Amino acid sequence: MDAMQQHMIDRYRAAQHAEPAPPLPGTHDVATLRELRDYRRFEAVLAGRLATGRLRAALAHLFAPHHPRRHPPACR
């Protein structure tokens, strides 16, 4: 059973019991994702890690071109 069918069943049940209809599926998805992002940032701060930019920094480190160390001519 997909989400829309379940919503229709829940809506019918709510109407039978004179209750308010449930919100459409996906109505609060963006708000939920924002709350999850904020919670993960909060947990990072409590753990002493960077709160923002961690994914971008990790990807930049992973995909950065590797440059061999260049020693001064006197060390060769």
In order, the DSSP letters of 32-73 are: HHHHHHHHHHHHHHHTTS-SSSHHHHHHHHHHSPP------G
More confident residue, 49 or 65: 49
**How far is it, in rounded angstroms, from Cα 54 to Cα 41?**
10
Q: pLDDT over 90 for what percent of the chain?
A: 43
Asked if residue 76 has pLDDT above 60, the reply is no
Q: Two tokens at 73?
A: 């001519």
On whether the CB atoms of residues 1 and 7 are closer than 8 A, the answer is: no
pLDDT at residue 67 in the model = 67
| Single-letter code of the amino acid located at 66 | H
Q: Which of 23, 33, 18 is nearest to 3 (CA)?
A: 23
